[in-house]
């Protein structure tokens, strides 16, 4: 915090001169501040470089004393004496453990001396198809980032189609080049890998590209690609190993099928593709593959998007089906056989019905498995030190501060039992964990009302409870569901369907109509939901939505004009702009 004081007038020339006695008194005062505080920052409140430094120490959870020279009467004198002490005439002027760090750039380079000695073990076990990737985990390499970029490629294809109605004329045949897309995306991912390496180096975090395994308490074995073993000890451990795609356990699955681990760097166009599964990964991948012009079929065992609102899930599936994605419902594969090698080759898939004796077979170029993911917790020696896991799914139970049953071992991310499997959740949990462990902070990760979006061709974003879960928790008679179909303005001229996009909120009637579920099927759903998620954190109610003036014309404004309830049975078709 800043020392007490008030903003002084800018001194006129010559007023900063002091008697030698006053100067020495000020010098002793400044040295006292430097010696009495772990981190002492001499700053100016309007200086952007000073702001960067203050944000750095705040992010590290490090307590520091700040003297804003423009906020105290003798600021000019302080800066003059400081320049004599440090030979630095600018701010910020920083001291750590009585040692002069210098200004902004030097402080960023030296900030690691404040923290604990940290090592990151990161090793990617190759997929059955031999795919590996760089630093950054699933999201950056084989998840959110490449998925969103391929989704964008598909949206651009739709935009090309729409553009003719807006007056764009082109005679050249437009086609998609898979290799161009994947190379551009992989180049971007490579730049992110490199930036993470630089960031770790800048913060003096040791990066070891080896596979870690506990061998005894506080001790791990790290094995690199060459099989060389090194042993390390630590006071505390954080497990953030994530998950990997699950396989079927049928003939030919690991030999011939690919997963999301392989798709985003696939060097050839996958051609006619069968996607097995109904998870968000399955639907997203099927969506962008169809969007770039491929023949795509989804084989579904039971329901779409398990765990999500089922009304919304079925609307997602219906839109995909209307736009060329084929669905094989109530079937499971029993064998995958290679008919021809190639890039792509030809695979025969045999599947059986879940409701009877019917068996079908079809030939595809590529089979993509997206039936779920397994936690990477079973081969890292947790049993050696007694860390408990759920034997059924490999998940790790933790308390409300992400601590396992072994006190010095913590876990974050997708491997946690009964927690959301989302990258931003893991980032938030990890950041707060570090602050609690080493920064004296108390804040815990809030796993309630976390927004998310499924990047299907028509995006589905949500925050809070599904309608099914809300009924289970609060009972149907205590809820009011407001809903509407809407027609995005961008879709009107393009002649796209006016009864597809859909919004609904679920309200608790006996808690001031508080919004407990927020759902949107429409363009840019992720961007819309992100803002409303903050409102839900603040206790959003139906009345607050009604009191909010919408931005016209946007998709998000539909939530400010919701009037029709499900219970009324009234028509929700779009009536105007």
In this structure, the strands spanning 65-68 and 39-43 are parallel
Tokens 């997929």 sit on residue? 127
DSSP state of 70: G
For 283-300, give one letter per residue: b (16+ CB within 10 A) or e: bbbbbbbbbbebebbbbb
519 given a catalytic annotation:
no
415 φ, ψ (degrees, to nearest 5): -80, -5
DSSP string of 192-227, one letter each residue: HHHHHHHHHHHTT-EEE-SEEEEEETTEEEEE-TT-
Instruction: Decide: 291 and 401 in contact? Cβ < 8 Å.
Output: no
Distance CA 448, CA 446 (A): 6
Distance CA 342, CA 87 (A): 68
Tokens 């100067």 sit on residue? 23
Distance CA 246, CA 244 (A): 7
Distance CA 410, CA 238 (A): 5
Distance CA 391, CA 378 (A): 9
- Bridge partners of residue 464, in order along the sequence: 517
DSSP reduced 3-state for 573: coil
Q: How far out from the chain centre does Cα 111 lie?
A: 26
Tokens 């681990």 sit on residue? 261
Q: Which of 133, 242, 124 is nearest to 192 (CA)?
A: 133
Tokens 């049993």 sit on residue? 383
Helices 144-163 & 280-291 angle (0-180, nearest 10): 40
Neighbours of 183 (CB within 10 A): 13
Q: Work out the burial of residue 225: count CB atoms within 10 Å of its CB; fewer than 13 is exposed, 13-18 middle, 19 or more buried.
A: exposed
Q: Which residues participate in catalysis according to the annotation?
A: 552
């Amino acid at each position: 915090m800043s020392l007490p004081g008030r903003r002084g007038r800018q001194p006129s020339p010559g007023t900063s001169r002091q008697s030698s006695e006053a100067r020495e008194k000020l010098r002793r005062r400044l040295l006292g501040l430097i010696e009495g505080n772990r981190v002492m920052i001499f700053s100016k409140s309007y200086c952007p470089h000073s702001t960067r430094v203050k944000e750095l120490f705040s992010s590290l959870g490090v307590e520091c004393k700040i003297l804003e020279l423009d906020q105290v009467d003798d600021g000019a004198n302080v800066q003059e004496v400081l320049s004599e002490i440090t030979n630095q005439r600018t701010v910020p002027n920083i001291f750590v453990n009585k040692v002069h760090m210098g200004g902004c750039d030097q402080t960023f380079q030296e900030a690691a001396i404040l923290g604990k000695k940290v090592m990151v073990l990161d090793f990617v076990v190759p997929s059955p198809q031999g795919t590996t990737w760089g630093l950054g985990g699933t999201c950056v390499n084989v998840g959110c980032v490449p998925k969103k970029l391929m989704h964008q490629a598909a949206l651009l294809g739709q935009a090309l189609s729409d553009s003719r109605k807006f007056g764009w004329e082109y005679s050249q045949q437009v086609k998609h080049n898979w290799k161009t897309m994947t190379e551009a995306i992989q180049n971007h991912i490579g730049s992110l890998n490199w930036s993470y390496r630089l960031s770790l180096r800048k913060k003096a975090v040791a990066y070891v590209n080896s596979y870690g395994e506990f061998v005894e308490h506080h001790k791990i074995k790290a094995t690199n690609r060459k099989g060389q073993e090194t042993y390390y000890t630590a006071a505390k451990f954080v497990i953030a190993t994530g998950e990997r795609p699950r396989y079927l356990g049928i003939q030919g699955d690991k030999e011939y099928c690919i997963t999301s681990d392989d798709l985003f760097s696939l060097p050839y166009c996958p051609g006619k593709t069968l996607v097995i599964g109904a998870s968000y990964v399955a639907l997203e991948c099927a969506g962008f593959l169809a969007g770039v012009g491929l023949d795509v079929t989804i084989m579904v065992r039971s329901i779409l998007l398990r765990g999500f609102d089922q009304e919304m899930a079925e609307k997602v599936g219906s839109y995909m089906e209307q736009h060329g994605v084929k669905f094989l419902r109530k079937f499971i594969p029993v064998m995958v056989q290679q008919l021809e090698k190639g890039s792509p080759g030809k695979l025969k898939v045999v599947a059986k019905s879940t409701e009877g004796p019917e068996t079908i077979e079809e030939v595809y170029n590529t089979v993509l498995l997206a039936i779920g993911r397994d936690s990477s917790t079973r081969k890292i020696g947790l049993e050696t030190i007694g860390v408990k896991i759920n034997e059924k799914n490999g998940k790790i139970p933790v308390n409300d501060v992400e601590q396992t049953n072994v006190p010095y071992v913590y876990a974050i991310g997708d491997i946690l039992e009964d927690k959301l499997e989302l990258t931003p959740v893991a980032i938030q949990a990890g950041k707060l964990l570090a602050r609690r462990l080493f920064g004296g902070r108390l804040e815990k990760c809030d796993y309630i009302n976390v927004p998310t979006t499924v990047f299907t061709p028509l995006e589905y974003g949500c925050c809070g409870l599904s309608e099914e879960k809300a009924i289970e928790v609060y009972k149907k008679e205590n809820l009011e569901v407001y809903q509407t179909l809407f027609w995005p303005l961008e879709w009107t001229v393009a002649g796209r369907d006016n009864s597809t996009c859909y919004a609904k909120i679920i309200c608790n009637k006996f808690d001031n109509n508080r919004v407990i579920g927020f759902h949107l099927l429409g363009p840019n759903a992720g961007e819309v939901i992100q803002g409303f998620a903050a409102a839900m954190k603040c206790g959003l109610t139906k009345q607050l939505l009604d009191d909010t003036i919408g931005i016209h014309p946007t998709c998000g404004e539909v939530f400010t004009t919701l009037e029709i309830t499900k219970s009324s049975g009234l028509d929700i078709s779009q009536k105007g702009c």
